[in-house]
Amino acid sequence: MEPTGNQPDEVTRAALDTVSRAVDLADRQDSQRRPRGIRGRISRRMRRRAERRKGVRRLSVAVSGAARRGAHVTGRGVSAGGRWLSARVLAMAPRIPVRDLETLRAQFPGRSPDELAQALTDGASRASAAVGVAVGAWAVLPFVPAAGVEITTETLAVVGIEIKLVAELHEVYGQAVPGSVVDRMTAYVGAWAQRRGVALVPGGLVLAAGSPLARQLQRRLAARAGRSILSLGPLLTGAAAGGIINRRETRKLGRILGDDLRKRSPWAGGWPA
């Protein structure tokens, strides 16, 4: 189903719901404080494993239901072509919740810009890994819709998590993009595709069809969709592969963006007085 008006289509809504659930799962894991002593560490580890298993099961059920709806709406699955995915990413981006600097500093008190950037990267890595595990675990269930729906759901969800990370890293290093929500998030989509911070220029950033940046976005999305296929491996090997690859790629993105933004940050040495 194609988007109508300002409403995202079924697959895009499924991806946004997956982003929300995966980020919430990662945040809950991060909020658990490290207890002292050997018994405390063992107990914490067991609680975290149990919580992670429950969270992944809930996420898997949510993704399964979303993909069923997407398969039903499309009738024969979805196309994972570059232009099709690009259109959905651009439709999804303005709806991704992004925390501003004040909110981030309140949520992670006492951390320097670099420590906060690392915490955000770690959280996004856990979230994207959870998506890969959930999709891989769901792939062994009796209901298996068209593979295109599975691949697209994971691809859009992980890209959404990473775009959220890109936007919040810009906040951390004092380089938030001005303008409307659509303008800002379109710029962050470009940063995700280019693997570097947004370069603010007069006239803003436009992702026009056929432009070099649009083509780069399509190539990035095609590569991301290709990695998502690994989550559909036999039994639970896909879940393991999907989780590991997603975590590694998201962490790599956070490191590259963080290094680039740090060089241009007005407060790389610490927060302004």
Torsion sign across C-alpha atoms 249, 251, 254, 258: negative
Note the pLDDT tens digit of each residue in 20-37.
Answer: 888 887 877 666 555 455
Q: 3-class SS at 7?
A: strand
Note the pLDDT tens digit of each residue in 89-114.
Answer: 999 999 999 999 999 999 999 999 99
Residue 4: beta bridge partners?
7
Note the pLDDT tens digit of each residue in 72-86.
Answer: 444 444 444 678 788
Say how far apart CA 94 and CA 97 lie, in whole Å: 8
Say how far apart CA 178 and CA 31 lie, in whole Å: 31
Is 128 in contact with 224 (CB distance < 8 Å)?
no
Q: Which amino acid is at 86?
A: S
Structure tokens at 28: 């809950």
Q: What is the pTM of this model?
A: 0.80
Note the pLDDT tens digit of each residue in 231-268.
Answer: 555 444 555 666 788 899 999 999 999 999 999 898 86
